[in-house]
Amino acid sequence: MCNFGYLVNNKTYVGTPAHSSQVVKLAKPFRGYQFWHKYSDEQLNVLKNWIIYIANRDGIDPKVGLVELIKTKGADAFDVCDVKMAESKKGMWSHTNVMRGKVDMFPQQELIDMLLSL
């Protein structure tokens, strides 16, 4: 998925203004930012199909890992960063779970809903 991540003064990290329809305000800031460039419905649908494809191809249960964390921690699951945990438990993890500086996936409610539907 590609979007422009967090927003500062309604602008992306490359300085491009974000249209209000493409902005999501998180209930709680994620890694210091409350406003983000919203994942579109099309991005979420493509991601879901891709996850299913990769999971089937590689024998990965996408309900293990990040999805389990979401069920116990809600949106805070995206901010759990524990490389040893991810290495020891085969499943689906995000960059944010293994690299503190990453912000390429954030807890937009529609993303959470899609992941929980897997």
Report yes or no on 30 lying in a domain: no
Report yes or no on 67 lying in a domain: yes
Report yes or no on 50 lying in a domain: yes
pTM for this structure? Answer: 0.92
pLDDT 10s digits, 62-80: 999 999 999 999 999 999 9
pLDDT at residue 9, rounded to an integer: 92
Report yes or no on 8 lying in a domain: no
Q: For the chain, how many structural domains are there in total?
A: 1
pLDDT at residue 104, rounded to an integer: 82
How far CA 15 is from CA of 29, 104, 113, 114, in Å, comes to 20, 17, 30, 29
User: Cα(88)–Cα(85) distance, rounded to whole angstroms?
Assistant: 5
pLDDT 10s digits, 23-41: 999 999 999 999 999 999 9
| Domain range for 101 | 40-116
What number is the average pLDDT over the span 53-61?
Answer: 97
pLDDT at residue 2, rounded to an integer: 62
Dihedral of alpha carbons 102, 103, 106, 111, sign: negative
How many residues comprise the chain? 118
Report yes or no on 26 lying in a domain: no
Q: What does the mean pLDDT of the chain come to? A: 94
Report yes or no on 3 lying in a domain: no
The answer to whether residue 3 scores a pLDDT higher than 80 is no
Which of 20, 54, 14, 64 shows the shortest CA–CA distance to 38?
Answer: 20
pLDDT at residue 14, rounded to an integer: 87
Report yes or no on 21 lying in a domain: no
Report yes or no on 27 lying in a domain: no
